[in-house]
Amino acid sequence: MKNTLYFLALSVSLILTSCTSNEQDIMPLSPQFEKKEVNDINLPYNYLQSFDEVSNVKVDYQMEKDGLILLVNTGSQKIKHMYAVIEQHGVPVMVFLGSSDDKKYFVKGINVSRSISIRIYGGFKDDTQLVNTIPYSPSTVFNNIVVQGWASSDSYIKVSSTKFPAGLIHLYTELKTKKGNVLVFLGRPAEEDFEIPKYGDLGIADLKLFGNTAYKFTKAN
């Protein structure tokens, strides 16, 4: 009798374990990110942290031997974390500049042969969602990751990109919408095909991806 009860208990345990494993295998993750990465303390921002395009900003640039000097004047707007998307011949890169206090930024390794398009995005100093650290070293470059295709469905955007570079750490998307442009932090996608919630119903006109492969927190001054 004891042996019978033991085998019954063992069978029930195996069945429950099998069901749990199957549920975990087929349970959809939307967006398709590893659960542990959402609000991970090693990430610089919460998932879907957004940065609006900064209006009324004056941007100029100067060529140097080893790169590009950006001169950014945001006027009275105090920006805590500022990013620039620099586009030449249709090929964009994203750069973390720092705060708006510096006004002059050197971006190493970018050579400009013709006129370029520069868009500035920022998180303002009164944004309580921004951590009290500098998330990247100033002038950190995020390379463009080619988007193979995307489609919006309800409030989601389904994205398919080329293969992520080895060691990809953080991914951002620049969205051009009917309501304006916005830069959004996407964390670390689990794979090249993923979904972005919340923004799909804003009338997406274009979508770009930027990623980096080197990262560390820098203490704020």
pLDDT in tens, 88-114: 888 899 999 999 999 999 998 887 777
Is pLDDT above 60 for 60? yes
Model confidence at 18, pLDDT cuts 50, 70, 90, reads very low
How much is the pLDDT for 215? 56
How much is the pLDDT for 25? 31
Is pLDDT above 60 for 163? yes
Is pLDDT above 50 for 68? yes
Nearest to 122 by CA among 60, 170, 159, 73: 73
**Could you tell me the pTM of the whole model?**
0.78
How much is the pLDDT for 184? 97
